[in-house]
Amino acid sequence: MAETKPAGTLGVAIVGAGMMGAVHSRASRLAGAQIKGIATSSPERAKEAAAQLGIGRAYSNADEAIADPAVQVIHICTPNSTHYPLAMAALAAGKHVVCEKPLATSLADAKALANAAHSAQRVAAVPFVYRYHPMVREARALVKDGTVGALQLIHGSYLQDWLLGRDDTNWRVDAALGGPSRAFADIGSHWCDLIEWISGERFESVVATLQTTMKDRPAGSVATFSAVTPDASAARQAVTTEDIAGALFRTQAGVLTTLTVSQVSAGRKNRLWFEIDGANASLVFDQEEPEKLWLGERDSTRLFVRDPSRGSAEQRRLATLPAGHAQGYAQCFEAFVADTYAAIRGETREGLPTFDDGYRSGQIIDAVLGSSKAGAWTQI
Ligand code: SOE
């Protein structure tokens, strides 16, 4: 399909009305698009969501959104198992696509989507949004310019606690909706994407173990981060997806990397943390304190502070508020969507995560699942 660069305001449709539907809608508006309508699992729910989010039209279903000639971009914010059919249909209809991660629930589907995006010549982006923290851009620049030196060790974790209790549940717990991996695909995927992107390394092999601490949880398709009222008589479903993952990677250049992932670590809300240790210096970033980047050297340590007038070009570009006026997750998401729309207009922006990155993430998830099953080192 020939590429056509849309002139004027982009028309957007949102598919899905959970927490992420609201996040995508806000970012889309801030990036100057016009939201033409929203589709969800039912026409009734779409009407409610349209009213809540101030969107003019409630589509009867996703097909109607995809067929809308006023729409150039489809944002897919639905459970994981629906990403593949929806993104395929949107690309086939000539739309640009923003699809939540994990891109698909099987490696074959992720690959097919990446291929379809190339053949359709459409912008197809996956929100690995932590790339948009200005301090993450600074970390990448410090690895690139040699400040850190030859990489020797990478380690870290991504910990949450929103599934700690026996009555906590979510649609992701059900493999039929969320896919065969939960904690790793949901949040471990962010960590791996960041590390490969910052370090320029590629994970080559992995040995991983997955663990399910909560053997059953309340049945039903519950929205992310919503509390379920404990009810002793509520039906429960067996849990087949992991609460915890431990992985040891070796990169192509031979750098050992360890990662701990958990959605059941009390007190940890959204703690993506990593340390990159090089021959000259070590770097530490903590997503819950995203305004700072720690750089340790043998003789001294430094704290970089996000600042639109200091540091690397990409740090400055994404630091939209003055230093000391905290930026965070919302600004990352907004910058990601703004860069996606810039790409649709034919502009080049550094670090836009695409369906290729979604497929790459699928390769890592697949190898982690395979390694855990086989109890052995596995090639990625
Ligand atoms: C839930 O674990 C979640 O919302 C993830 O799905 C997001 O990708 C992550 O950014 C925050 O936590």
**How many structural domains comprise the chain?**
2
- Out of 80, 262, 270, 331, give the residue to mutate to test ligand 1, the one with the largest number of ligand atoms within 8 Å of its CB: 270
98 Cα to the center of ligand 1, angstroms: 16
Q: Are residues 113 and 226 in the same domain?
A: no
- Which atom of ligand 1 is least distant from the CA of 101? 8
Domain boundary among 125, 157, 185: 125
- Which atom of ligand 1 is least distant from the CA of 186? 6
Q: Are residues 357 and 231 in the same domain?
A: yes
Q: Are residues 118 and 159 in the same domain?
A: no
**pTM reported for the whole predicted model:** 0.96
Q: Are residues 92 and 185 in the same domain?
A: no
| Residue 5: inside a domain | no
Q: Are residues 116 and 158 in the same domain?
A: no
The domain of 52 spans: 11-125
186 Cα to the center of ligand 1, angstroms: 6
Q: Are residues 222 and 99 in the same domain?
A: no
362 token code pair: 């699928």
88 Cα to the center of ligand 1, angstroms: 23
Q: Are residues 101 and 175 in the same domain?
A: no
Phi, psi of 276 (to 5 degrees): -115, 115
Whether 66 and 13 have beta carbons less than 8 Å apart is answered as yes
Q: Are residues 180 and 270 in the same domain?
A: yes
For atom 11 of ligand 1, the residue with the nearest CA is: 270
86 Cα to the center of ligand 1, angstroms: 20
Packing angle between helix 107-120 and helix 355-374, nearest 10 degrees? Answer: 170
pLDDT band at 229 (very low <50, low <70, confident <90, very high): low
Among the listed residues 139, 170, 121, the one whose alpha carbon sits nearest the alpha carbon of residue 276: 139
For atom 6 of ligand 1, the residue with the nearest CA is: 186
How far is 264 from 190, CA to CA, in rounded Å? 17
Pocket of ligand 1 (CB under 6 A): 160, 186-187, 190, 224, 270
Q: What is the pLDDT of residues 164-220, one digit of tens each?
A: 999 999 999 999 999 999 999 999 999 999 999 999 999 999 999 999 999 999 987
346 Cα to the center of ligand 1, angstroms: 29
Q: Are residues 230 and 366 in the same domain?
A: yes
Q: Are residues 84 and 152 in the same domain?
A: no
Q: Are residues 104 and 211 in the same domain?
A: no
Q: In what order do the strands lie in the sheet with 256-262?
A: 301-305, 292-296, 282-286, 271-278, 151-159, 256-262, 244-251, 203-211, 378-379
Q: Are residues 279 and 213 in the same domain?
A: yes
**How confident is the prediction for the chain on average, in pLDDT?**
95
Which CATH number does the domain housing residue 75 bear?
3.40.50.720
Which CATH number does the domain housing residue 192 bear?
3.30.360.10
Residue linked to tokens 């930026």: 327
Confidence at residue 227, expressed as pLDDT on a 0 to 100 scale: 65
| Residue 371: inside a domain | yes
Q: What is the pLDDT of residues 307-358, one digit of tens each?
A: 999 999 999 999 999 999 999 999 999 999 999 999 999 999 999 999 999 9
For atom 4 of ligand 1, the residue with the nearest CA is: 224
| Residue 3: inside a domain | no
Domain boundary among 99, 125, 151: 125
